[in-house]
Amino acid sequence: MRDETEQRVKACLAEGLSNKEISDRIHVSVRMVKWHIGHLLRQRGLYGIADARRLIVCLVQEKIFALTGSAAPPSVSTVPEKPNHAHDAAQL
């Protein structure tokens, strides 16, 4: 059940739906939607809003590849590296 709900949340994220819209569509609480999004992020070692945005971009790309039947999409587990701000600060 949890895996099925998580897959539905992923599909809704790929459509660009808000947490409330996802909640209404799949008939779970907004809190449950947030939990699943957090779980998707934690599974991939991602944290914060910037990481969440990158995850959504990857999910959208997967959906586009699936709809067009193109070559294999980039894996969501290979979300682009986030910038090393500590390294940037050391350069100043």
Each domain of the chain, given as residue ranges in start order, spans 2-91
Taking alpha carbons only, the member of 15, 51, 47, 19 closest to residue 34 is 19
Taking alpha carbons only, the member of 81, 7, 14 closest to residue 44 is 81
pTM assigned to the model: 0.63
| Amino acid letter, residue 52 | A
pLDDT of residue 88: 44
| Amino acid letter, residue 53 | R
- Cβ neighbors of 44 (< 8 A, separation 6 or more) are 55, 76, 77, 79
CATH number for the region 2-91 comes to: 1.10.10.10
pLDDT of residue 62: 80
Angle between helices 30-43 and 48-68 (to 10 degrees): 90
- 15-29: per-residue pLDDT in tens? 889 999 999 999 999
- 45-81: per-residue pLDDT in tens? 888 878 888 888 888 888 777 666 665 555 544 444 5
